[in-house]
Structure 1
């Protein structure tokens, strides 16, 4: 996944609106399905908790199906980019321990590990900035400085374009 410049204000505005709309649609779907299920399978004197729960589950499924159709809408470009960015970061995070271990333990410089970490740290910095995550930004910047020193010590030229998710397979 290639990193892109995203307007933070536009992203936050679109994310907030998408969240509000998704919540409203989920409520409408859940109420609709719940009422239909109660009408056909429930009774006025019975506890209809299970039917209402089934309505909520059907509402979630319907929302996911609707979202699948509208996810490529131009209004959601920034929101979907950050969603995909988080997915890419999560794939790296699951193997981060092995990547860092390979970086520390190898006698030779593990260029693939450095490439992955360079991408991961840059993508994480962008993600934290867009989501206003200031709590972990300081430690991330320290990690970036350590990696930059390692790159400089080994006279490497590592760019974000060097990263490919297939590099993760070896870890």
Structure 2
């Protein structure tokens, strides 16, 4: 997955709209499904927990289906990109200890993977206005740049391929 620049304002606007739509759909859908089930299958004891739970599950499945169906829609472009980027970074972070050790030993795939991880994290944190850990990321980037200079390498996040992680 290649890193691309996205419009922060458009991303935030679309994210907020999707969140609001999901919350509203969840509330209305849960109540509607549960009330229909309660009307069709009343419980004399007055406990309708199982119908309420069924309403939540059905509504969540419908919301997930709708989001997946419209995944390729232009409105969802930035949201899907960020979601996929988060998944890619999670895969890298799961192997971070091995990657850092291999990078110190001069493994090119590890160095490129770390470069991609740092660049992707920087982009995500800027999109979410999460500047608290940017200083820590800057320190790690300097360490990575030092290793790259030590091994006479020029690191580019665009060279990253998920297959590089298979060796770790």
In structure 2, how many angstroms separate the alpha carbons of the residues matched to 1:68 and 1:140?
Answer: 33
What residue is the counterpart of 1:8 in the other structure?
A: 8
Runs of at least 4 residues off by over 6 Å: none
**Aligned with residue 167 of structure 1, among 161, 164, 168:** 164
In structure 2, how many angstroms separate the alpha carbons of the residues matched to 1:44 and 1:135?
Answer: 55
**RMSD (Å), alpha carbons:** 1.3
In structure 1, how many angstroms separate the alpha carbons of the residues matched to 2:85 and 2:44?
Answer: 48
1:17 is paired with a residue whose SS is helix
Structure 1 residue runs without a partner (length 5+): none
TM-score by length of 2: 0.94
In structure 1, how many angstroms separate the alpha carbons of the residues matched to 2:126 and 2:153?
Answer: 27
TM-score by length of 1: 0.93
In structure 2, how many angstroms separate the alpha carbons of the residues matched to 1:73 and 1:22?
Answer: 17
Give the superposition deviation at 1:45: 5.1
- Residue 34 of structure 1 contacts residue 54 of structure 1 at CA under 8 Å; is this kept in 2? yes
- Residue 103 of structure 2 contacts residue 147 of structure 2 at CA under 8 Å; is this kept in 1? no
